[in-house]
Each structure stands twice: as C-alpha cells, then as structure tokens.
Structure 1
Amino acid sequence: LKLSNPSAPKPNVIIIYCDDLGYGDLGCYGNRVIRTPNIDGLARDGMRFTDYYSCNAVCAPSRVGLLTGRYPFRTGIIGNPYPAENPLLRKIEREIAYQFTPMGSFDQHEDYVAAGISSKEITIAQALKIAGYNTAMVGKWHLGDYSREPQFNPLKHGFDQYLGVPHSNDMQPCPLFRNETQLEADIGTNQARLTGMYTREALAFIEKSKGNPFFLYFAHTFPHQPLYASERFAGKSKAGKFGDAVEEIDWSVGEITKKLRELNIEQNTIIFFASDNGPWYEGSPGVHRGRKGQSYEGGFRVPFIVKWPGHIRPGQVSSELAVNLDIFPTLLTLAGIEHPSDRVIDGKSIEGLLSGRETVSPHDIVYFYHYDQLEGVRFGKWKYLRRLNRYVWPVPLDAEYITSRMGKKALGDRWPLLYDLSLDPGENYNVIATYPDVAGKLEGMLAQWEKTAEKNPRGFLE
C-alpha cells in the first residue's frame, strides 16, 4: 500500500456498527415505537440507503468483510469464532479452515471456522495509518479470541488503541480488555454499563485526536442478545429491552455528533452508521422476510447512513445497491491511498454516489453466502435463491409443505426460489414458474462466480 494522492482530503472517519439491528428498527426506516432522533438526524443531514447489504448474515463474517473489503470466504472467517479453550487445537483447526473451507469443501460447522483474522489481511485501520491517521477501536471485535491467541488483538491489525470484548456478549467467558491488558476476566451479566463505557472511550479518543486525521471503529455490543441498558434507559422505551438498548445507542450517537461540533471538526468528519446483519430473536426487518442467519432480505439488508457535511447533500435517499465491502475501497479513495494490487478486493468505491458525481451503483450483483455456501444472488430487481440453510425461523413458507393426499411431484419443488423485489420486497411470491429464463440466467451467474472463485478462493494475486 502507498499514497496515490498526498493532497487528498483525509477526512476523519467514524464507523458506528450495531450488532443485530434490523432494517426496521430506526425511525428513519419507518419504526414508530423506538425513539432514534440522533440516528434519524444522521439521515436528515446525510444519505440514507434503502438497498444496502451486509456481506453475510452473521456477526464475524460481516465484520471481516467490512474491515477488509473482501468476501468472508477469502479470509477463512466464514462463521463466528468461539472462545478459544484449547489454543493448540484451535491452531490446528484454523490451519484446516484456512486451507480447505473455501467454496464448500467442509460442512457448515463451527469447528471448521477460522479462529481469527489472518495477518495477511489488510484492514481499514492498517491502510489509513499509511496516510497518517490515528486509529482506535471500541467495542466488540469478534475476529479472534485474543485473550488466548494474542495475534488476533486489534492492536496487531492496525489499531493504535482498543477497549472492548473479543466476541459476542452471550459467549462466556467474555473478558474486557484495554489494548493488550485484560481488565476483567468475564463481564458476565454486568453489561448495562457497556454502551456508556464505550461512548466515554470514543469521546476521549476524538478529543485526543482532534489535531490529526483519525479513524474510530465503534462496534456496539447491542442490541445483540442478551439485552441490557443502563439505569437511565432501562424500561424507558416502548419496545422492551430491545428498544431500551437501541435508544441508548441513539444517545451515544448524539454524544459523538455533539463532540464533533464542540471541537469544530464536524465538517471534516465522515460518519458511517450500519448494522452487521439483520435482527435475531427481537427486532424488526421492516417489510422484509427473514432474520439473522438467513439469506432472505431480512438477514442481509440493513440500515446504512452516511453523513459528511459539505460533501454529501443532506436528506438524500439512495436506492442504489451497496455492500459493506464497499467501505474499505471508499475510504482508501478518500484518503488518497492506492488500492491493494496483490489481492482481490470485492468491494467497490461508492465515493461517487456519496458525492453526487455518480447516480448509478458500481454494483449490479450481490451474492448471498451462509458460511461458505453460496445460496443466492440479486441482479437488478431479481433475487434468486438456489436453496436455504437450516438456520430457520418461524416465518411463512419456511417449513416443508406435505399432505397425506398430494405427493411432492404435485406440489412442485421447494427450491430454487425467484422473487421480483420491485413488486415483492417481502419475498412472499415465488415466480420461478413464470420467469424460468430469468432463473436460468441467475443460476448461470452463480455457477460462473463459483467457477471463478474456486480457481483462487483466497484471492491473493501473483
């Protein structure tokens, strides 16, 4: 990596990443129960996307895609790494996973998930440091249990400072770390303090870095289960514990934007707000079908808001395709950093969309993976699902329909599925019988993508 444009603007960068926040959980996305005035303010002052996707519908793969701009199967993190109880065993599993998991070589089982992010990957933090950025991470990492395997610590992957936990709050033990020092062996159920603690740390970093370009990756623990909120917010929302947690996150967003105004650096700071995937047990996917872990829209399509005063016109709503993989190349472009030439970067810069210089997405295709299994594709208004995994939820049509009088031949095949998202965003009507030619074209796209990916699944170039 090297600078390609030393005179690039180099804005301060803040990524606020929620955990299991659904498409329909914010006021600016139609929610009328949970109060989110500060997040809605980001949308009012910036650009809100309606067709933004995570690269995966579970936590860790989404995060490695965000930070590297690469599909998770390229990194080996195809599912959620669990706490490392046996480092030697995990090392063996990691090597197995890294060599053999691409494109379905192993079954979908957590034991074969890579234990953490490889040192070969380049993160946003590592890239921005080339342009002179101060970097910090606050919150949930979930790219390797650094409490047992220190090579996965955020400080080894481009961050100057860190306060947070190695994985999800339902995985025990869940230690609290500052940099490479363990502060607590297990946060246990003492989690109501987390959002406030994270926010204070973020504000201190912004204050300290005000004279230098900075990158803050603020990855909230909530609203992932189990749900907690501080005394100030507990029981105050009209949406139970989930709503309490989201309203406290909204407060945190307000504190961040207030600090930027106080320091007179708001105009030179770009804020990205998003969720890692769709909602889990609670939360709303909006009009969309499915939830976390599923390749229906509700698992992958999430809120995405970008604010940069003076550069992004306020109040815009974009229906263009975007993926969380795009944030990596977009930030490299803004910071004047040459994009890596030694590896495939799956994301595409959306700087033109944000600035208004371009009106059409650089994407025309989005792929849907569950672990390393390629399940579907979106092309324009069409969504094609080859089949779905067994990460099921009690939503319509997910169960096999069998009667005593009619056999499978009479009922038709369950797979594949074809939806016209322009008419049916809820994916309620399978129109494959009406448009078999469209389904054939999309299946061909999947086959071609698999063929290309299998030739070089890790995407490193000679």
Structure 2
Amino acid sequence: MAGMFARAIRLCFLLTLTLWIPASLAAEKPNVVILFADDMGYGDPGCYGHPLIKTPNIDRLAGEGIRLTSFVTGSWCVPSRTQLITGRYMPRVKFNGGTGSDGKGGLPDSEKTLAEALKEAGYATHMVGKWHLGYKEKRFLPVNQGFDTWFGLPYSNDYIKPWVQTNEPLGLYRGDEMVEHPFDQDPLTTRYTEEAVGLIEKAEGPFFLYLAYAMPHLPIHVSDARRGKSAGGLYGDVIEEVDWSVGEVLAALEKKGVADNTLVFFASDNGPWVEMPPRMLRTQNKLWHAGSTGPLRGSKGETYEGGPRVPAIVRWPGTVPAGQVSGELVGMPDIYRTCLAAGGATLPEHVLDGHDLTPFLSGKADASPREDYYYFRSGLEAVRVGRWKLRTVTGKPELFDMVTDPYERVNRADELPDRVAELRSRMGQMAKEVSVKVAGG
C-alpha cells in the first residue's frame, strides 16, 4: 500500500513538472533585433560577393543563420519601411501626404505597427535611427507609434541644402523633441551604435530593438576612426563601419547573455543609388556612391531586381539552423508577420501582405510560404509568381525566368504569351484591390 502511495506521489510530481516546463519555456519570448541599412546594395557585403569590402560581422551573422538570396522589398525608402513596420504594401496605407522634409503625411492610427504589436505582447520597444514614416505631427513619430524610446532622424540625411531645397532643419530627435541641430553626420553610425548597445545593456525582459542606420544613403559619412581603412574607398569605409556596428550589437547581446534567445534580422531597405537624380550631383560625382547590385540589373528606384532585391540575413538560435543559404522568394512584409509570431503578438484585423516564415526558417517546411510579390513604384510595375516575373512599365511586357535568368537579361514574353496574360491578370486584380494603376497600361 505504501509503495502504491509513493508511486502516486512520484507520478503527480512528474505530471506537475511536465506541465510546468513548457509553460516556463513558452514565457521566455525571444528578443527581436532588426538592423536596417539604408541603400546598401545586394553586392555590398562580403558574403554576397564583394571583392574588396570586408564585412566579417555580417558574414559571421550569415554563417550563424540563413542568408537569403531572393529577398525583395520596396525599391526606395518609404515603401520598404512601410512593409517592415506594417506588414503591408504601401498603397494599402493612407499616409495622406509625404513623409520627407515639409511632408505632412504619416502612419494613420488604423495601422498596427510592429512596435505596437510587440509592446502589447509584453515587449520593451526601442528605436535608434531613421524613421521616414511621418514627423510633421507628433502623433506620427516613433514614440507615438509603439516605441518606448527613439533617438534618430525623422527622414533621410539628404533632406538639406544643396540636395533638397528646404528650410526645414534636419535634426536629431530624442522622444518627440528635436534635441540637436545642426549636427555632424560623420560620427552618426558610431552614435547610433552606442545608443543601441546601451539599450541592450539596460534591458530587462523581452525587448524589440530597431536600429535603422543612416548609411550608406547619400551624402555618405564615416567616423574618423574608420576613414581611409577600406580597400573599397570611401564607400567601403562606410560599409565597413556599418559592419563594425553590427559586430558591436552582436557582442552586446552576447555580453548580456541573451544572444541565444534573440532573433536578429539584418537587411537593407533597397538597392544602391546608382542612377541618382541630378540634385545629388551638385557637390560630388557618381563615384561617391559605389554601391554594388552584384550581378543584378537596375538600382534604387527601379523595379528591376537591383532596386528591390537586397541582402537579408536571419539568425535565430534554436529555431534557424546555422549555415543555410536559400534562394526561396521572401518579402519584407514577411518579417513583420514572423516577428509577431515569434513574440506571440496579436495580428491586426486588416489585410496583411506577409507570411509567418517560422516553418520555412526552422526547416519544418521545404519552401517559403510566399507565392508572389508585387512591385510598386509608378503604379504597379511588376509581379513575380514562383519563378516568373512580369514587368510592364515600359509598355512592352518583359517576362523573366528568375531561376535561370535572375539577372533579367532575356525577355521571354514573345514566346510565352499565355504566361504573360496570366501574370498581367494577377497584376490587374491586385491593382484594383489597392486602388492603383498597372504601369504601362
């Protein structure tokens, strides 16, 4: 009888332990760190093939997670940041005005930002760096869009004379107040890094840190400590300083003891500004931006792949196996959706354009859940479905096989009219859904 009683006690203890352990582990939400370069080209990091620029920290990050080679986003600043912060294509979001200097638009209250969603899920939320999603009214600023803290610029670093004819001061903000104007842009990457490291050091409980660099957006700047050090010239100095910053953030996570419980996402907002407008050539020449698209056609502001396809890396120990490289189609809205899933956050009720990548990233699914991606610029300019991409902006359809011809050199439209018709139909449906026109008719 006593033996039966003892066995019952042991059984109850084991059952209690079994129930308690998963609940305990489930409560340990992963931290989320997003490192977002500005105008870094697909071919700029060493792990994406640059022959001269050294990026050991970005390369190490890739080796410890998954390096994505077919990651696409908006082809310039605001659309890509919209996709990241809201999980939606830009035409769905009613900004009601521009978001650069003198722009009166901003994120409406109807959008649930990534920071708002994670804050509701119990995260401390911090932003360092460039916002570019509205500033004229304080309600548009990051600290009123879900972030507990913000130190950075309201928009791109070129919104000053002589590049932009504006009298609006470009200043650094802390919270909802401009705290520094004018300021020296040379040490900006260093200052952002110090701010980010300090936030990690002080963190208690799960946190979301969004570090949005100003560089290598023109006009490029680098600190004295790293000037003249790269074989890639001034532009190489700038990229290598961003890489230094990535290393400092990763080291801070390790020192804090949270690296193994942190999802780190590194990417650029769009490709390099190769075909820049005349306003950017007033004080320099085209050589001041030596960003590389690698083998890709086009650059920032275009819907050939050199504009929207960017370097992108996810490291998430215990979930994402190390050392992976994948050419599966992934889009920026997927990062929003994946971060919400990781943090146990509640989804907004409106339409999202992203997918939860967790099954794919963890290896439980062989393929990315993304079937298609729509490229918006002057209207809807292109769509990719599976291996095929249709671009209509020139008026003459351009059809590319993104598996055998990711460089968009061979137009297959004439030989595959049925495929063109199918993709054009998809473009028409999406254009109607988001109230824009299909470019090129």
Compute the TM-score of the two structures, normalised by the length of structure 1.
0.81
- Report the CA distance between 1:41 and its aligned residue: 0.4
Partners of 1:217 and 1:425 lie apart in 2 by: 31
Aligned residue number for residue 82 of structure 2: 64
Structure whose CA Rg is larger? 2
Structure-1 residue corresponding to 2:340: 332
Q: Which residue of 2 aligns with 1:185?
A: 181
Given that 2:121 and 2:346 are in contact with CA atoms closer than 8 Å, whether structure 1 keeps it comes out as no
TM-superposition CA deviations, 1:146-194 (whole Å, max 9, x none): xx4212111000000110011111102311111123221333xx21110
Distance 1:351 1:433 in 2: 39
State the AA in 2 paired with 1:35. K
Deviations 1:399-435 (A, max 9, x none): xxxxxxxxxxxxxxx6111111222211112121111
Q: Is the 8 A contact 1:386 1:417 kept in 2?
A: yes
Q: Is 1:218 matched with 2:240? A: no
Q: Secondary structure in 2 aligned to 1:232?
A: helix
Deviating beyond 4 angstroms after TM superposition, the runs of 4 or more aligned structure 1 residues are 77-80
The alignment status of 1:416 with 2:397, answered yes or no, reads yes
Question: Equivalent residues in 2 for 1:159-178 (5 A)?
Answer: 159-172=147-160, 173-178=169-174
Change in CA separation of 1:304 and 1:273 when aligned onto 2, cut-off 3 Å: same
Is contact 2:91-2:435 (8 Å) kept? no
Aligned counterpart for 1:348 among listed residues 351, 355, 359: 355
- Of the three residues 222, 228, 237, the one matched with 1:235 is 228
Please give the per-residue CA displacement for 1:370-391, whole angstroms capped at 9, x wherever unaligned: 05x0011011111100115xxx
Corresponding residue of 1:360: 367
- 2:139 matches 1:151: yes
The Cα shift of 1:72 comes to 0.6
Alpha-carbon deviation of 1:60?
A: 1.2
Corresponding position of 2:407: 426
Does the 8 Å contact 1:175/1:183 carry over to 2? yes
Secondary structure of residue in 2 paired with 1:141: coil
Matches within 5 A, 1:68-83: 68-77=86-95, 81-83=99-101
Matches within 5 A, 1:31-430: 31-54=50-73, 56-77=74-95, 81-84=99-102, 115-145=105-135, 148-172=136-160, 173-187=169-183, 190-209=184-203, 211-281=204-274, 282=289, 283-341=291-349, 343-371=350-378, 373-388=379-394, 415-430=396-411
Q: Distance in 2 between matches of 1:170 and 1:257?
A: 29
1:276 Cα deviation after fit: 0.4
Aligned to 1:102: none
TM-score, normalising length: structure 2: 0.85
Q: Does 1:448 align with 2:421?
A: no
Structure 1 residues 442 and 18, CA gap change in structure 2 (3 angstroms) = same
CA contact (8 A) 1:134 1:214 kept: yes
1:78 to partner: Cα distance = 9.5
SS at match of 2:190: helix
Aligned with 1:274: secondary structure? strand
SS at 1:333 equivalent: helix
Q: Is the 8 A contact 2:170 2:182 kept in 1?
A: yes
Return the offset for 1:77: 4.6
Q: Secondary structure at the match of 1:383?
A: strand
Matched AA of 2:100: Y
**What's the offset of the Cα at 1:76?**
2.9
Deviations 1:73-106 (A, max 9, x none): 111359962212xxxxx65xxxxxxxxxxxxxxx
**Is the contact made by 2:303 and 2:377 (CA closer than 8 Å) also made in structure 1?**
yes
1:158 and 1:76, CA in 2 relative to 1: closer, same or farther beyond 3 A? same
**Residue 394 of structure 1: aligned partner:** none
1:298 partner SS: coil
Distance in 1 separating the partners of 2:91 and 2:97: 9
What is the number of residues matched between the two proteins? 390
Structure 1: any 5+ residue segments left out of the alignment? 85-89, 92-114, 389-413, 456-462
Tell whether the 8 Å contact from 2:41 to 2:293 is kept in structure 1 after alignment.
yes
Equivalent position amino acid for 2:190 in 1: G
User: What is the CA–CA distance in structure 2 between the aligned matches of 1:9 and 1:330, rounded to whole Å?
Assistant: 17
Whether the 8 Å CA contact 1:8–1:335 is kept in 2: the answer is no
What is the alpha-carbon distance in structure 1 between the residues aligned to residue 194 and residue 236 of structure 2? 21
CA contact (8 A) 1:83 1:171 kept: yes
Is residue 13 of structure 1 aligned with residue 32 of structure 2?
A: yes
Task: In structure 1, give the amino acid aligned to 2:365.
Answer: E
Q: Which moved more, 1:446-455 or 1:280-289?
A: 446-455
Q: Is the 8 A contact 1:69 1:326 kept in 2?
A: yes
Q: Counterpart of 2:108 in structure 1: which amino acid?
A: S
Which amino acid in the other structure matches residue 136 of structure 1?
H
Partner of 2:18: none
Instruction: Report the Cα distance in structure 2 between the residues aligned to 1:38 and 1:314, rounded to whole angstroms.
Output: 15
Q: How many angstroms does 1:21 deviate by?
A: 0.5
CA contact under 8 A between 2:128 and 2:151: conserved in structure 1? yes
